[in-house]
Structure 1
Amino acid sequence: MTKERLQSLDVFRGITILYMTLVNNPGSWSFIYPPLEHAEWNGCTPADLVFPFFIFIMGTAIPFAIPDKTLENSPVNKIVVRSLRIFCLGLFLNFFSNIELFGLDGISLLFIRLTLTLGVSYALLGNFNLKVKTFLVFTILTVLLFLSYGGIKDFQEVRVLGVLQRLGIVYFFVAVLYLKTTRKIQLLVAITLLLGYWVVMAMVPVPGIGSANFEKGTNMAAWLDGLLLKGHMWIYTKTWDPEGLLSTVPAIASGIIGLLIGQLMNITLPKLEIVKKIILIGVTSTVIGILWGIIFPINKSLWTSSYVLYTSGLAILCLTFLYYTVEIANYKKWTLFFIIWGVNPMIVFFYSGIVSKVLRMIKIQNPEIVTEQISIQDYFYKFWITPTFSNPLNASLAFALINTIFWSLILCFFYKNKLIFKV
């Protein structure tokens, strides 16, 4: 049994994943409008809201997916398998570009990689019974981790963590907390995680470096990543990971806050009363986050406690607005497009990453330099998009919009044919 879907939550998820697609796929990372660009370090732009919003939404959805915690069809082993499936999707996404076989290259190798992608995604997104899911998930996870930590040479420096991996970890802890604890304990756990993380980051000296700090590469989170994930971190940071181990702890609190809001929306109260309570919580969380940010800067890469409260507060306020508009005012005519995006978020995130990698892998001759090759993605952007716009910012945005339209058409097809891919 599942509670009837909350349309406003699907709309919120759809807006979030659509905006994520825009943020992640500019024509050029050198030309990005400010709302689509992440903060350099401290601070929070609209682009920095996407990930915490998605975690918040994931937490909020749990009470609607499992409204009765005593149901026999909601055991912990299902939560474990689902968490690992999300984690495995992220691992495979990181490994995709490193897959080699029998010395193949070019189109032959790309065919092998895409075939494996379809097999893995079918296993992880397919509708199998729990025993088959468990077998497939643990087999895939074992193989991927073996390859990463000493198997085939090309996999020994592949990133282990990432966005989907963090989602999987957070989902596991938040869902188990929901099944096994009360709302009061969940709140206490969230507070403990946020305060504990602040104490560790602000007061515990960093081994081999010195006093506690919040700077790039020298903070406690970076030190722990370097100790346990050496050679397996994000390629652009190398010495620390923006989805690292220690910073995942406060991310769990982001999910718990969403969980608490989801449970509040499920209680037997008039909808307007629920709205009043949630608005108060959202404003309070946002203000505390801003104030805490004075001494513990709002920072996405560190996922600071102030960042958790600030972004969770904004997420609560956004959801409240949508809840009032859709569920109370019953103004739904505009929602279909975002619902289409909101019911299939995982397929978009996973395959948009794969498609982007593929477009960068396929090379053709550069018309300007005969001796060089250029990726299809760069060719399309440089010779088709850029000449159409005098402003490079508009050209970069146009590329992102074309990508979004492409996925909108695919998602419309899925929705029309009632194809919903769940992890």
Structure 2
Amino acid sequence: MSLASTVPEPAVAQPVPVKRLLSLDTLRGFDMFWIMGGDEIFYALAKTTTWGWAAFMADQFTHPEWNGFRFYDLIFPLFLFMAGVSTPFSIGSRLQKGDDKGPLARKIITRGITLVIFGIIYNNGFFVKPLEEIRFCSVLGRIGLAGMFAQLIYVYANRRAQYFWFFGILLGYWAALMLIPVPGCGAGVLTMACSLPGYVDRLLVPGKLYLTIHDPEGLLSTVPAICNALLGMYAGALLKEYTSTAGQKMKTLIGVGVAFLVLGWLWDNIFPINKNLWTSSFVLVTGGCSLLLLALFYWIIDVRQYQKGTILFTVIGMNSILIYLAVLIINFEHIADFFFGGLIHQLTSEPLKAVLTVAGMILMKWLFLYILYQKKIFLRV
């Protein structure tokens, strides 16, 4: 199959000026759509019908109890991956212009710390809990720390060294979990009570852990998450190159993505795919899926220029952190009920009621973001 020379390169692949990747904003919006309520459509259908496909999809939007992989496990690492993809277009462009690395590093660290603080506020509110009840680990905290360290590696390490960091972290994390003994359990026991990440969290993390003895966004398990961002940086650098054709970039993204999926599932036999521990096999599987999704969106949107309807997701993708935080202070469900509740409650079909209730809530969130989008108001951290 030839993808290459007959297809014109999208503008983003040219040396100057480097434009924003519409496919990346769209994919980020697609990812956030499920977090802002898209998953609840399938939950509602599963509860109100006997449709087998609805039950299957609802199950895919839950996390396995421990080992295993479902679609919902991809949402978080995909977001980290996309943060990495944007790095060569933002930080990389500044480095090419000759910007000093010191100020860039300080900005990266400041952003990471800011996201950690946002994560603590998201979990606990504004200092309304005693210290022992505060959950310090968070989704935003992991995005901040993993993204921060990945970007520092990007700034100070060349391309070959970045590869060593990527595979070194994955192999080192595997070795640590399998060889370092946990008191009372021994080495290589990957249960919630006996895993090394859980032990480190209980030892070092103040406040409370999400699962009492373990936190899925804990300290040690944040280390391999750096690799999801590093993989995104590799993909971003590839897309930014102007010496390769669109077809060559597609083949590389697909080839590496498939290879990582195969390696991840093979590794699963001795190092289980586990989101709670963010195992190295989990990184490869989610990284492979992320590469394939990026290839698909890039090919359709930036190369083939099929861009109708992308506004539905780009509005979300360009303010993804803002909508994640906005639910803390805006009751979108109440707003949706105010506008649509009376009409929805008159319906006799329970499945339709359930779906429209969720759709109304999603619509209110989207309109909120669309107004900000129109006014060019974006939360930049």
- Name the aligned partner's letter for residue 87 of structure 1: V
Is 1:13 aligned to residue 38 of structure 2? no
Q: Confirm or deny: 8 A CA contact 2:319 2:369 kept in the other structure.
A: yes
Deviations 1:319-353 (A, max 9, x none): 00111111111111121111111110110111124
Residue range with higher mean Cα deviation, 346-355 or 168-177: 346-355
Q: Confirm or deny: 8 A CA contact 1:10 1:342 kept in the other structure.
A: yes
Q: Confirm or deny: 8 A CA contact 1:193 1:253 kept in the other structure.
A: yes
User: CA distance change for structure 1 residues 389 and 71 in 2, over 3 Å: closer, same or farther?
Assistant: farther
1:403 counterpart (350, 361, 364): 361
Question: TM-score of the superposition, structure 1-length normalised?
Answer: 0.75
Q: CA deviation at 1:217?
A: 2.3
2:241 counterpart (257, 267, 287): 267
Q: Confirm or deny: 8 A CA contact 2:132 2:206 kept in the other structure.
A: no
2:113 counterpart (55, 78, 84): 84
Alpha-carbon separation, structure 2, partners of 1:206 and 1:213: 8
Structure-2 residue corresponding to 1:130: none
Structure-1 residue corresponding to 2:4: none
Alpha-carbon separation, structure 2, partners of 1:251 and 1:185: 18
- Runs (5+) with no aligned partner, structure 2: 1-15, 48-54
2:185 counterpart (196, 199, 209): 209
- Name the aligned partner's letter for residue 14 of structure 1: G
- Name the aligned partner's letter for residue 239 of structure 2: M
Is 1:41 aligned to residue 69 of structure 2? no
Alpha-carbon separation, structure 2, partners of 1:301 and 1:249: 13
Question: TM-score of the superposition, structure 2-length normalised?
Answer: 0.83
User: CA distance change for structure 1 residues 202 and 355 in 2, over 3 Å: closer, same or farther?
Assistant: farther
Is 1:303 aligned to residue 332 of structure 2? no
User: CA distance change for structure 1 residues 230 and 177 in 2, over 3 Å: closer, same or farther?
Assistant: closer
- Name the aligned partner's letter for residue 344 of structure 1: N
Q: Confirm or deny: 8 A CA contact 1:247 1:303 kept in the other structure.
A: yes
Deviations 1:179-223 (A, max 9, x none): 111111111101011111111112222122234211122211111
User: CA distance change for structure 1 residues 157 and 387 in 2, over 3 Å: closer, same or farther?
Assistant: farther
Q: Confirm or deny: 8 A CA contact 1:25 1:403 kept in the other structure.
A: no
User: CA distance change for structure 1 residues 354 and 38 in 2, over 3 Å: closer, same or farther?
Assistant: farther
Structure-1 residue corresponding to 2:172: 196
Deviations 1:366-422 (A, max 9, x none): xxxxxxxxxx99xx99xx87996546xx77665543332221110111111111111
Is 1:50 aligned to residue 24 of structure 2? no
Structure-1 residue corresponding to 2:3: none
User: CA distance change for structure 1 residues 342 and 359 in 2, over 3 Å: closer, same or farther?
Assistant: closer
Q: Confirm or deny: 8 A CA contact 1:326 1:332 kept in the other structure.
A: yes
User: CA distance change for structure 1 residues 230 and 176 in 2, over 3 Å: closer, same or farther?
Assistant: closer
Q: CA deviation at 1:154?
A: 2.4
Deviations 1:45-68 (A, max 9, x none): 111110000000001111111224
Structure-2 residue corresponding to 1:413: 371
- Name the aligned partner's letter for residue 288 of structure 2: G
Structure-2 residue corresponding to 1:294: 269
User: CA distance change for structure 1 residues 287 and 15 in 2, over 3 Å: closer, same or farther?
Assistant: same
Q: Secondary structure at the match of 1:156?
A: helix
- Name the aligned partner's letter for residue 274 of structure 1: K
- Runs (5+) with no aligned partner, structure 1: 100-152, 361-375
RMSD of Structure 2 on Structure 1 (CA): 2.8
Alpha-carbon separation, structure 1, partners of 2:231 and 2:118: 25
Q: Secondary structure at the match of 1:75?
A: helix
Alpha-carbon separation, structure 2, partners of 1:387 and 1:226: 50
Alpha-carbon separation, structure 2, partners of 1:302 and 1:395: 38
Q: Confirm or deny: 8 A CA contact 1:95 1:155 kept in the other structure.
A: no
Count of equivalent residues: 345
Q: Confirm or deny: 8 A CA contact 1:2 1:64 kept in the other structure.
A: no
Q: Confirm or deny: 8 A CA contact 2:146 2:225 kept in the other structure.
A: yes
Q: Secondary structure at the match of 2:327?
A: helix
Q: Secondary structure at the match of 1:238?
A: coil
Q: Which runs of 4+ in 1 moved over 3 A?
A: 23-28, 353-356, 384-391, 394-402
